Amino acid sequence: MLQKVLSICLALLVAGVAQAVERTIEKEVVVDAPLQQVWDAWTTREGIVSFFAPAAEIEARPGGAFHVYINPLASIGQRGADYMRVMAIQPMKMLSFDWNAPPQLPEVRQQRTFVVLRFEPVSPTQTRVRLTHAGWGEGGEWDKAYTYFDRVWPTVLANLQKRFVTGPIDWTEWLNQLRKMQEQSK
């Protein structure tokens, strides 16, 4: 009898753990820059513009803006990570913010996921950044958004690395392409 009870308890425990496991995107990169510089890249407007997007509004405090405008020429609400907020901050250690899907996924775009970045000095001149993106629904546009960000976050992190090797990204050509696309759609 005891063995049967233990078997049932084990089965329930395994089932509970399986349900508790949520799909997440986890990425990691080591950046050739001191912790303070990498922290500033994520927590200031100038930093975000140096590697992530051509425009941003960043207020590094809980509830502060974390707006990252991939297409600053688009209408309000369609520029990228419009209306995102910093959720929590531990200076030089952790930054979390809510996040939305790209405009081409309007159903999921109305929802929010969340991103947690953890910063760890590897040496005085190198910093590890761990990114975890969670809060995913399932099916339809949720699966498309998950696949999209699983592909995009490595590019963002590679741009962060590159920013400290070759300098800030020059967004001129990107903005010129966006202008052309906007003119063609009129």
Tell me if 8 is assigned to some domain. Answer: no
Closest CA to 69 of 48, 87, 86, 89: 48
Tell me if 168 is assigned to some domain. Answer: yes
Average per-residue pLDDT for the chain: 91
pLDDT of residue 25: 98
Tell me if 56 is assigned to some domain. Answer: yes
The answer to whether the beta carbons of residues 122 and 30 sit under 8 Å apart is: yes
- Classified as helix, coil or strand, 109 is helix
Q: What is the residue range of 130's domain?
A: 23-184
Tell me if 33 is assigned to some domain. Answer: yes
Mean pLDDT of 40-45: 98
Mean pLDDT of 86-108: 96
Report how many domains make up the chain: 1
Tell me if 143 is assigned to some domain. Answer: yes
- Classified as helix, coil or strand, 65 is strand
Q: H or E segment at 57?
A: strand 55-58
**Tokens matching residue 9:** 């308890």
pLDDT of residue 1: 54
Tell me if 13 is assigned to some domain. Answer: no
**Domain of residue 96, CATH code:** 3.30.530.20
How does pLDDT run across 46-78, given as a tens digit for each residue? 999 999 999 999 999 999 999 999 999 999 889
- Binned at pLDDT 50, 70 and 90, residue 7 comes out as low
Give 93's contacts (C-beta < 8 A, 6+ positions apart): 118, 119, 120
